Structure 1
């Protein structure tokens, strides 16, 4: 009995000595609208496929004028042809970069589906990247009903950069957000690899935005920096969980500073949940009400849970 008592006393002292000093505060718990949707590692990665479909389709269309159904028809899995696929007016260097992003993302999709049978081969969602849909988002960002002439996102590189960066940013934020919840070496390696690639693309695009920050969006009276700032504000309003997207300049007490890569105040990468991402992509501010870029909604088990459980 004495030895058992000594062991118990030692165990108590051990646990007290190594008790975590960092307590979870009530303020650390996200409000209901900002809480993640619980799912398995496969389900969390599966949701990311929606974002990869959008990115691949967008960059393939603007650089080559053809989507995944032409480049890699086996990856569509019965999904519909996208709406508004069109070639953009780009210089050769920008076209090469965007084409690389598109083909690279097709390879990411193939790798995801080949990694594990637990990741379902979900159909490509209905994607709407028409001039009209993207124009409406630009108008919403600027707070206007119309521009003369009507805004054409495919007219040139400057018009395209903000939307391009936003799509990649949402994918990066989502992948960063699910990383702590991915279990298993295979899934962790997959998530890490995809996140690294998406983050690299995001850095390239933010660099392009910064280099062209003061370029006027012809023929209007605002520059690209203004469009980036207003676009970030729109995403933040729709997603509803804080100012996670930012412009290219930040104001501090000691003056303005460049903001090429947005970070949290603790210098960690921003994260978004599946619900935040859908609110922004749908353009409705409601993760259960499709529209905008995904007019029929996202596909996969996480998307199904959001609708079934009414997790707007």
Structure 2
């Protein structure tokens, strides 16, 4: 069984990476660095985007199946392979070689995320019941996060939004996971009909967070390379879920203590540092930065042509 679970986890990583890559290509081919609703309607008609959605769905199914056959400590770290696969696929697509700084950043993301997951699994005890006050706190916190995300989308500059999309989407998906946990516990432990057990505000919060997080992911595809999106999600999503589980849902196990908290904080900081490095030193990001500076550095008023590699993205599906 464990070997089958490992195989399914690898298939899941491949599916998630392939889906992320295809959807990124589809979004970028129909946008100019910012994604509007009208552009997204065109994206939805793209066969490449649809194929990416199918791969993402398959990857999710494989991951659920793997988790049903093996512990999280076996399955979850394998999922980080999706970041490497996405990086290789994207590099071949845009014909830009992967620089050493990018590999170092990916190593930090993968190493930090793996240690974080392994530590979290060891010190958490899944909640069998959740107090009404705890589910309310999750909803209030989510409302505050949604308000901050909306303000950021309105007032941050385009340059600041690229990294903001990643962390905001990861945070929202972390809340989605927690709300799913809350609703599932409500369904399992309540008495009477299911609709009498589930809190409506938890369901509404789940749907809003999922929809807004999905939009931010698509916007992040337009603003930067897909491996940066994958890195942000694989780092931020589990961290938010674990922190909420420990602090709000009461999932801290008997082994949780100062050393465990320090391990979680340190590994989380390493992963976040990796995402930040990736956002600054990825070769495609460097190409875009050079293109943005080109009009200011052109001699005799002549604006240099922007580097070409990104154009591979803009081929029609």
The TM-score with structure 1 as length reference comes to: 0.28
| Structure number with higher helix proportion | 2
Higher CA-based Rg: 1
The TM-score with structure 2 as length reference comes to: 0.28
Q: Structure with the greater relative contact order (CA < 8 A, sep ≥ 6): 1 or 2?
A: 2
